[in-house]
């Protein structure tokens, strides 16, 4: 995968978003993102959970808290990142997919609470996976799968993993 992808999870709220934000991180890691920034409430438990997964299952992935998401977006734009905001109010992904894929550095924003207007204005692309209510986790997974042309669906692990999962039609097999 050629693109550098970072995720920004907006508006993390405790305890409401603990599980969903963890799932955003899991999907981001599994589908090739290099890390997640999150804003809202600081959550050391979220950071610890994600770091533990990376330690055991491998990969080059980080998680960081960012108090001022707006400054982060502006900084990454100055560093050459294109900003993709996933929103059900955006333009359907198929209409912008080629243009998004042409960018080598992407900041992908997913919200938790109502997304502030300035995020729509800072984004280079306001993209809808569907214009119906749905999960930000599902939207992120579909988006990352489409921009990678399905590459990560065949990825069975990371080379630096302490444990890995062996594909198995029946049951579970973990390799240590």
Mean pLDDT of the chain: 93
Helix (H, G, I), strand (E, B) or coil at 140: helix
State percent of the chain over pLDDT 70. 98
Q: Find the CATH number of the domain harbouring 49.
A: 3.40.1280.10
Average the pLDDT over 147-153 and give the result: 92
| Arithmetic mean of pLDDT, 15-43 | 96
Q: How many domains does the chain have?
A: 1
Confidence category of residue 1, pLDDT binned at 50, 70, 90: low
- pLDDT band at residue 175 using 50, 70 and 90 as cut-offs: confident
The whole-number average pLDDT for the span 82-89 is: 96
Q: State how far the Cα of 51 lies from the Cα of 146, in Å rounded to an integer.
A: 26
Q: Residue 102's CB: how many other CB atoms inside 10 A?
A: 9
Task: Answer yes or no: is pLDDT of 2 > 80.
Answer: no
For the entire predicted model, the pTM comes to 0.94
In a 3-state reduction of DSSP, which class is residue 68? coil
Domain containing 78 equals 4-175
């Amino acid at each position: 995968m050629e693109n550098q992808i970072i995720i920004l999870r907006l508006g993390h709220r405790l305890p409401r978003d603990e599980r969903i934000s963890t799932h955003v991180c899991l999907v981001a890691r599994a589908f090739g993102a290099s890390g997640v920034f999150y804003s809202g409430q600081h959550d050391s438990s979220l950071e610890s959970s994600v770091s533990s997964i990376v330690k055991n299952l491998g990969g080059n992935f980080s998680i960081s808290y960012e108090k001022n998401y707006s400054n982060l977006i502006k900084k990454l734009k100055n560093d050459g990142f294109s900003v993709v905001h996933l929103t059900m109010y955006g333009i359907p992904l198929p209409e912008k997919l080629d243009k998004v894929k042409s960018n080598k550095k992407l900041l992908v924003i997913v919200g938790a609470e109502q997304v502030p207007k300035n995020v729509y204005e800072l984004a280079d692309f306001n993209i809808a996976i569907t214009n119906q209510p749905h999960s930000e986790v599902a939207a992120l997974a579909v988006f990352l799968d489409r921009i990678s042309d399905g590459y990560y669906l065949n990825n069975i692990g990371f080379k630096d993993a302490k444990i890995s999962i062996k594909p198995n039609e029946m049951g579970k097999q973990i390799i240590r």
